Amino acid sequence: MAARRPRERGVTVEDVARVAGVSRQTISNALNAPHRLKPETLERVSAVIEELGYRPDQSARSLRSGTRRIIAYPAPVDDPANPNALMGGFLEAVVAASGEAGYRVLLVRPRPGQSQEQALDELIAARTVDGFLLSDVLRDDPRLAHLTQAGFPFAAFGRTAPDQPQSWVDVDSAQAVIDMVGLVAARGHRRVAFLASSSGLPWMDDRRDGFLAGVRRHGLAGQVYSVPGDDPGEIIKATRELLTGRDRPTAIVAGGDWLALGVYTVARAEGLEIGTDLAVTAFDDLPVTAWLQPALTTVRLPLHGIAKALISRLLQIIEDGVTPRAGLVLPGEPVIRPSLGPPHAL
């Protein structure tokens, strides 16, 4: 009868700590809270973990920490035939940032007939997730009030009310549009218009406020045109009224890239050349903007920075029990392209 081979001992956390020359706690931080380590330390420890083939016992970690290492993301409703490229990019950034922190992302949505609050309660009661990451946050968003009352960890892409946890991250849309108006003014334009959606979205309102502030700062003649909803026909109708009226603007600042598409369509129909007869800027930097002729000047949302900040803030609550005392505002990133045009000839 052949002798039984002795069972091979797996690589332990002590082995990794000894080879990396760090403490056991540092290894734990690298696996559970990498944001706590200096980049060079995290890189060295990660290399040793990979070299030794160390794989922690996930079930044991969950029992010890009381966490599932899962973040729930209530996915916004979208049209598969016309998907929202911006939110798709945001989801990718969230998954990447969560993975770097050792967490997985669970996409959730209410079942038919179920309210958003009921869907949240179901996950909380089942102890399926450690916290929620919310996007498309509106004023008086019921999800924020519900999670605040429940005392359950969450972070929000969008601002929360003063009496709610300030675990939010947002883009300074107003300042980004002020800067865009400044670029238009620097090229000699004096008659400018802002094309907005009238849907009451908080970020659109911020962009409109930024336009009005920029107009005042630079002493420009500015007007705001609102489009009822996102219907392409309505966008084209509003843009045609704007470009065929008296004292038509020589520059248009659109509140979103999809609004600028209508400007391109109407301008060509009216024999106006974008970048020469009419300067156009927008917001969001959807992939199509780089393919337009001429390519569209716009504001890019720092999606990776937003996602990393949201995950970091959420983990402060989940792992450390510390809720941020103030929200975090990140700057938009201007992307200058030919639609802005050269200095305008008055």
Q: Measured between alpha carbons, how far is 319 from 71 in angstroms, rounded to an integer?
A: 13
Per-residue confidence (pLDDT) for residue 57, from 0 to 100? 55
For CATH 3.40.50.2300, the residue range(s) in the chain are 70-171+303-333, 173-300+335-340
- Helices 232-244, 257-269: inter-axial angle, 10-degree rounding: 50
8 Å CB contact between 187 and 250: no
Q: Measured between alpha carbons, how far is 220 from 186 in angstroms, rounded to an integer?
A: 11
> Which residues of the chain, if any, have pLDDT below 70?
1-9, 32-33, 56-67, 344-346
8 Å CB contact between 86 and 301: yes
Per-residue confidence (pLDDT) for residue 180, from 0 to 100? 97
Q: In the CATH scheme, what architecture does the domain 13-56 have? A: Orthogonal Bundle (1.10)
Helical spans, DSSP H, in the chain: 13-20, 24-32, 39-52, 58-65, 85-100, 116-126, 142-150, 173-186, 202-218, 232-244, 257-269, 303-320
Handedness of CA 266, 270, 276, 278 (dihedral sign): negative
CATH number for the domain whose boundaries are 173-300+335-340: 3.40.50.2300
This prediction has a pTM of 0.80
Per-residue confidence (pLDDT) for residue 94, from 0 to 100? 97
Per-residue confidence (pLDDT) for residue 2, from 0 to 100? 44
The pLDDT tens digits of the residues spanning 172-208 come to 999 999 999 999 999 999 999 999 987 778 999 999 9
Q: Which fold has domain 70-171+303-333?
A: Rossmann fold (3.40.50)
For CATH 1.10.260.40, the residue range(s) in the chain are 13-56
8 Å CB contact between 248 and 191: yes
Q: Measured between alpha carbons, how far is 197 from 203 in angstroms, rounded to an integer?
A: 10
Per-residue confidence (pLDDT) for residue 5, from 0 to 100? 39
Listing DSSP states for 193-224 in one string gives: EEEEE-S--HHHHHHHHHHHHHHHHHT-EEEE
